[in-house]
Amino acid sequence: MDILVNFLYYSVRAGTPLLLGTTGEIITEKSGSLNLGVEGLMAMGAIGGYVIGCATNSFLLGVLGAFLFGLLGALIFAFVTVTMQANQNVTGLALTTFGVGVYHFWGRSLTKDFPSLDNAPAFKAMVSDNGIPFLCDIPVIGKLLFSYNSFVYLAVIIAVICWIYIRKSRPGLKLRAVGENPGAADACGVKVNVYKYVNILVGGGICGIGGLYLASVTNSGAWNDNWINGMGWISVALVIFSNWSPSRAIFGAFFFGMLKTLQPWKGNLSTAFPEVLGWLNAIPDEFYQMLPFFITAVVLVAASIRKNKKSEEPSAIGLNYFREER
C-alpha cells in the first residue's frame, strides 16, 4: 500500500507543472489565440522566477517574477498576432525558440555563480514538500492530499479559479464569445482585442509559474540545459485532452504525471505487485521516456481526425480577427 501511495504522490508532483502550463494555454485559446510557444514561456518563467526567488529569498516574489517573465513572452506573442496580425502558428514556434534561447543565455552566463536554494532558506522551505502540519500525518490521505509543496496547491487553486472565471462569470462569457465568434462579440460591444490581450498575457504568466516549478522543485535549482524538457509541448496537447476545461485539466495533468513517474517507479511497483505489474520491469526505460510524448502525439492526431460535437474548442481558434471584415 505504501508503494502505491508514494507512486500516486510523486505522480501528482510530476503533473503539477503540466497543470499550470495547460491552464495557462486554455485561457489563451479560449480567446481564440493558439499559442504554441508554451515551452518558451515556461523556460522564461523558470529562469526569471528562480533567479528572483533566490535573490530575494521570497517564494511570493519568485512566483511573481515567473508570472511577469511568462507575461512578457506572451506580450510579444499578443503584439505580433493581435496587433500585427501575424500567423499564430509561426509566431508561437518562434516564441518557443526565443524563450528557450533567453533561458540558455541567462542560465549559462550565471553558471559559475548560479543561485542556490541553500542560500535562500525561506524560498527553499516553500518549494519543499513540508506539507500541511498535522493533516499530513493522517495515514494514506495525509500523504495523498496534504503532504505537498506550496506549488501543488497553488496550481489547483489557479485551475479552479480559471474554471469559475470561464464558466461562471460575465467576463468569462465574453471571453468565450470572443473565442467563438469575435465579429459577433464585437458587434455586441465586446472589446475583442482587449480581451485577447488580457487573457493571452494572463495565460502566459500562468505558464511561467509552471516553469518556476520545474526549476525549483523538479530540478531543485540545479542548473542544466533542459529544465523544461518538453513539458510545454505536452501541455499544449493536454488542452485538447482536457477538452479546454481547467477542471478536467487537473485530472489530465496528474494522469500524464503518472506516465512520467512510471519509469523510476517500475521496479518498486513490479516488486510490490508481481502478479499484476511484474511485466513493467521487462519494458526498456526508453519506452517510458517516450510514452508521454507518444500519448501526446496520439491525442493530437485523434483530435484532428475526429471532431467531437461536445468539444469545447473555440470555433475561431488560430484565426486572426480583422475588424474591417466583420
Q: Report whether pLDDT(325) > 80.
A: no
The residue written with cell numbers 479552479 in the block is 160
- Give the chain's largest Cα–Cα span: 66
Q: What is the pLDDT of residues 65-74, one digit of tens each?
A: 999 999 999 9
> What pLDDT was estimated at residue 130?
87
Across 274-295, average pLDDT: 83
Q: Is the dihedral of CA 222, 59, 142, 256 positive or negative?
A: negative
Query: How buried is residue 155: exposed, middle or buried, by Cβ count under 10 Å (0-12/13-18/19+)?
Result: buried
The CA distance from 228 to 213, in Å, is: 10
Q: Domain 2-320: which topology?
A: ABC transporter involved in vitamin B12 uptake, BtuC (1.10.3470)
Q: What is the pLDDT of residues 115-133, one digit of tens each?
A: 999 999 999 999 998 889 8
Q: Is the dihedral of CA 55, 56, 59, 63 positive or negative?
A: negative
Q: How far is CA 46 from the centre of its chain?
A: 12
> What pLDDT was estimated at residue 313?
87
Q: Per-residue DSSP letters for 67-95?
A: HHHHHHHHHHHHIIIIIS---HHHHHHHH
Q: What is the pLDDT of residues 161-208, one digit of tens each?
A: 999 999 999 999 999 999 999 999 999 999 999 999 999 999 999 999
Task: Decide if 203 contacts 74 (C-beta within 8 A).
Answer: yes
The CA distance from 210 to 326, in Å, is: 37
Q: What is the mean pLDDT of the chain?
A: 91
All 3 cell numbers of residue 319?
Answer: 484565426
Task: Decide if 48 contacts 108 (C-beta within 8 A).
Answer: no
Comparing 22 with 295, the larger pLDDT belongs to 22
